[in-house]
Amino acid sequence: MTNSIKFFAIALIFSSLYFTKVYAQKEEKSLLYEISGNGLSKPSYIFGTIHVICKDEFFMPQVVKDKFATTEQVYLELDMDDPTMMTEMQKSMMMTDGKTLKTIMSEADYQKVATFFKDSLKTNIAMMNGFKPFVLSSMTIPVMLGCPMQGYEEAFVKLAKEQNKEVKGLETVKEQFDAIDNMGMEKQAQLMLVKMVDNWTKGKTEMKTMIKDYRNQDIEAILKDMEHASTADANFEKDLLENRNRNWIPRIDAIIKSKATFFGVGAGHLGGKTGVLALLKQQGYKVKAIK
């Protein structure tokens, strides 16, 4: 997988975390949870990631490495070491049915976004007229962070290779893109490009707050951050989080009954009444925060 596509895969999942509104459910302050009981012979673990973060803010507690070492396989949201992922990602990044940025946006909005990309990214957006708005919004993340970046998925893939563990994905590239594309290209452009540009300064502040709360391992605070994010959209939540969480549960159930597994998914998927932790408890599993 090329570095550009690998970054986009990570940025795509990060944007899923940033552009979503969710509702908080009180959980202990932790990013790592043990899944046990319900007939399991060995526990599995799930870790809430933030998909891109400044290198100097990246942290990996020793307990995470210790629990990772006790498992037999690794599941991320996507299979990051799948050699076919690059092809699937490239195919999913483009709009279909003849749609372009110019056909899904007003001229005024198009010029606003084009000027932003020219000034901030030194990029001519006309050269990417067929890309989905979500793809273009993901390209702004390095500028928004303003620092060399590190990804947790990348770190877990490296650890898995060092320990000869197989890395797999909870969902396919198509499933992840479908969750985003369900809103339609026009709304995607308004929410993820126009609204992002209009709220750029506020968005940078919100991202810094979210990263601070992530480093504090405070899932409840992260959920509140998303709820008040300037680009939040209530209608987007169900497709991007709740439905995906519910789709994952039977898959996780089958996976952990087969092998002790380490899961790494966006921290935004863990909390809330329809979050992965609550849904696992509903299935009869004991879910315990690991300090």
Tens-binned pLDDT, residue by residue, of the chain (291 aa) = 444 444 445 455 444 444 444 333 455 789 999 999 999 999 999 999 997 899 999 999 999 999 999 999 999 999 988 888 888 999 999 999 999 999 999 999 999 999 999 999 999 999 999 999 999 999 999 999 999 999 999 999 999 999 999 999 999 999 999 988 988 999 999 999 999 999 999 989 999 999 999 999 988 787 777 777 755 566 676 777 889 999 999 999 999 999 999 999 999 899 888 889 999 999 999 999 998
Q: Is residue 181 part of a domain?
A: yes
Rounded CA separation 193/195 (Å) = 6
Q: Length of the chain in residues, anyone?
A: 291
Q: Is residue 158 part of a domain?
A: yes
Q: Is residue 94 part of a domain?
A: no
Q: Is residue 207 part of a domain?
A: yes
Domain around 208: 3-87+148-190+200-290
Q: Is residue 225 part of a domain?
A: yes
Q: Is residue 131 part of a domain?
A: no
Q: Is residue 113 part of a domain?
A: no
How many domains is the chain partitioned into structurally?
1
Please give the structure tokens belonging to residue 249.
């549960």
Q: What is the largest CA-CA distance in the chain?
A: 60
Contacts of 268 (CB under 8 A, 6+ apart): 16, 17, 20, 22, 48, 222, 223, 226, 241
Q: Is residue 67 part of a domain?
A: yes
> Distance of CA 281 to CAs 46, 66, 249, 250, Å?
13, 24, 10, 13
